[in-house]
Structure 1
Amino acid sequence: MTEDAAPAPPASEAAAPKKRSEAADTGLFLLKLLVAVLLLRSLVVAPFTIPSESMLPRLWVGDYLLVAKWPYGWSRFSFPGSPDLFEGRILERLPERGDVVVFRAPPANEVDYIKRVIGLPGDTVQMVAGQVILNGVPVPKQRVADFVHPLTPNSPCLTSRYDPTDYSDTLEDGTRVCRYPRYRETLPSGRYYEVLDLNRVTIDDTPVYTVPAGHLFLMGDNRDRSADSRVDPADKGVGFVPIENLHGRALVTFFSTDGSAEWLKPWTWAPAARWDRVGDGY
C-alpha cells in the first residue's frame, strides 16, 4: 500500500511574496522623496538667499526667494552640482528686459548671483553719468523719494570700493538708518523699477557694449555697489553672461530676516523676521 500524498497548501499561501522589512520600506520612501525634491528643485523652483546689497532697494540682504526654473528652459546649471550632461538650454526662451534673474557667475561658474536684465543679444548698452543708454536711446530716470533703510546686523550701511561715502543718518526718534538717493527707471517696454544711484563713481561712465549672441547684459539695482556686466571679470565683475548660465527668474519672497537671530536661541527667531516682506513678487 502507498501512503496518501500530503494535501497541497492553498494557492494563496504558496504565491504570497516575502514581505520587505520596515527598514527597506523606509529607505525606499526616503529615496523617492529625495528624487522628488531634486526634480522639484531642478525643474520647478529653487530657494535663493540675498547675500549682498547689490539689488537694493528691491531686494534686501537676508531675503529668501523662490526662483522659477521654467521661464527660460533648463541647462546643466539648473541641476545640483551642474553635471556636464549637455550644452545649451532645453526649451530655451529669452528673458525680458527688466527681469530679475539668478545665474551662475562667469568666468569661474562657481557662485550664484542675482541681477536685472538690461541688454539682450544684439543690444548696445552704455552708462553716461549714471544713466543707461540702451540702443542709443537714454532710459528715462526720474528722481523719487530717498530710500531709507533700517540699520540691522546684516545691513550695517557699508561703504564700497566704488563709493566710500557714509550714508548713515538718524531719524527724529533716534533710529539709525541708511539714506540713499533713489530713482525710477522706465524701459522702452514701459516696464519700470527703482534703482539707487548714490554718487558719481567710475562705473557710472562706460564705453558702448554690444551684447554678443547667446549672452545678456545684467546690472544690479544698487548701481554704485554692484560688480556686474559693466565690470570686467578680471576686476571681479561678470562681464557678458551666457544665457546658458541662467538658473531662473526671481518669483517671490518666502522669508526675510534682519540677521539678529541666533540658531541656538529660538526665542530670537521671530523678532528677527521681517514678515512684511514675505509674499513680495518680482
Structure 2
Amino acid sequence: MAGQSDKPAPVSKVREWANTIATFAGAVLVVNTFAYQGFYVPSESMLPTLTVGDQFYAAKYPYGYSRFSTPFVPLPVGSGRIFGAVPDRGDIVVFRKAGDENDLVKRVVGLPGDRLQWVEGRLYINGALVAREKLRDITYRAQSGALVTAAEYMETLPGGRRHLILENSDAGMADNTPEYIVPDGHLFMAGDNRDNSGDSRFLNDVGYVPLERVLGRVATVAFTRDGCATEEGLTCPGGGWWDRFFRSVAAD
C-alpha cells in the first residue's frame, strides 16, 4: 500500500494565501474607513500650511461617519452622519467634492448660518473684519515653474484660532465677492493660498460643502514626497522637505 504524501495540496496553499490577503485587505479597509486615511497634496492651494507632495493622514472619527467615509465609492444607501460632530472653525478637513467626487483639502472658515464676504481681499465673517497681520513678503517657484510673489499673513479667525495665509494681492478674481450665507448642514471652505484656490467662493464649482461629505480632520503632515528645492533669493513656503516630517498643521 503506497504511503500518503505529507506535502500540502496546492489548492490548500492558495486558499491560505487568499485568506491572508483578504484579512489584510479587510483590516486596511476598516482602518481607512473608521480611523485614518492617507492623502497626498497635489496642488498649491493650501500653501504655506500644506505644500505640494505632503503626505498626511486624516482622522476619520472626530466628525463621525457617513456613506462617503469609505475610501472608495460612496455607499449607495443612507444620508447624514452617525456620531456626527460639526468641525470647528479653523479646522483643516478633507471632503468629497460633489460632481467629480474628487477628495479636496481646505480650511473651514464658515459654519452653518455664518455670513461671509471678501471685500478688497479682506475677509468679513458675520459683519466683522477678520484680523490679519503681515509677516513678510516672499517669492517662491510655483509647481508650474513660474515665480510667484506673495505676502504671508497671520490670520486670526473668530474664536481666536490663528493660521498662515498667502495673498498675491488684494485685487484678485475672488477678492471682492457677494455675501455668502452658509446653509444649515453645510460648511464654507477656503484655501490658505487665497488667490490660488478653487474653494467655496466659487459656488458653481466647490460651493457650500454638505457635512455628510466631510471625510476627516488633518492635524499633522507625516512627510513630503517632493519638498521644495532651495534656490538663491527664493523662499520655500512651509519649509523644505526636512521640515515636513510629522509637522503639526493644526490652527493655534
- Measured against the shorter chain, the TM-score band is 0.7 to 0.9
CA contact (8 A) 2:149 2:168 kept: no
TM-score of the aligned structures, taking structure 2 as reference length: 0.84
Larger radius of gyration: 1
Amino acid at match of 1:40: V
TM-score of the aligned structures, taking structure 1 as reference length: 0.76
After TM superposition, give the deviation of residue 146 of structure 1 in Å: 2.4
Structure 1 moving runs of 4+ over 3 Å: none
Could you tell me which residue of structure 1 aligns to residue 166 of structure 2? 196
SS in 2 for 1:196: strand
Deviations 1:193-251 (A, max 9, x none): 01111121121011111100000011001111111111122xxx311111111111113
Indicate yes or no: 2:10 matched with 1:39.
no
User: Quick one: which of 239, 242, 247 aligns to 1:280?
Assistant: 247
After TM superposition, give the deviation of residue 24 of structure 1 in Å: 1.8
CA contact (8 A) 2:227 2:241 kept: no
Amino acid at match of 1:212: P
After TM superposition, give the deviation of residue 69 of structure 1 in Å: 0.6
Amino acid at match of 2:134: R
Could you tell me which residue of structure 2 aligns to residue 248 of structure 1? 216
RMSD, aligned α-carbons: 2.0
Could you tell me which residue of structure 2 aligns to residue 118 of structure 1? 109
CA contact (8 A) 1:64 1:254 kept: yes
Alignment of 1:143-182 (within 5 A): 143-149=134-140, 151=141, 155-158=143-146, 168=147, 178-182=148-152
Counting aligned pairs with the same residue, the percent is 41
After TM superposition, give the deviation of residue 148 of structure 1 in Å: 4.7
After TM superposition, give the deviation of residue 157 of structure 1 in Å: 4.7
d(CA) in 2 for partners of 1:132 and 1:91? 32
Deviations 1:114-165 (A, max 9, x none): 110001001111111111101110010111112454x4xx72454xxxxxxx
User: Quick one: which of 40, 43, 50 aligns to 2:41?
Assistant: 50
Could you tell me which residue of structure 1 aligns to residue 190 of structure 2? 219
Point out the more displaced range, 20-29 or 67-76.
20-29
Indicate yes or no: 2:47 matched with 1:65.
no
d(CA) in 1 for partners of 2:28 and 2:152? 40
Indicate yes or no: 2:220 matched with 1:229.
no
d(CA) in 2 for partners of 1:249 and 1:147? 28
d(CA) in 1 for partners of 2:203 and 2:159? 28
After TM superposition, give the deviation of residue 30 of structure 1 in Å: 1.3
d(CA) in 2 for partners of 1:254 and 1:194? 19
CA contact (8 A) 1:155 1:258 kept: no
Point out the more displaced range, 22-31 or 64-73.
22-31
d(CA) in 2 for partners of 1:71 and 1:157? 38
Aligned length: 227
After TM superposition, give the deviation of residue 259 of structure 1 in Å: 7.3
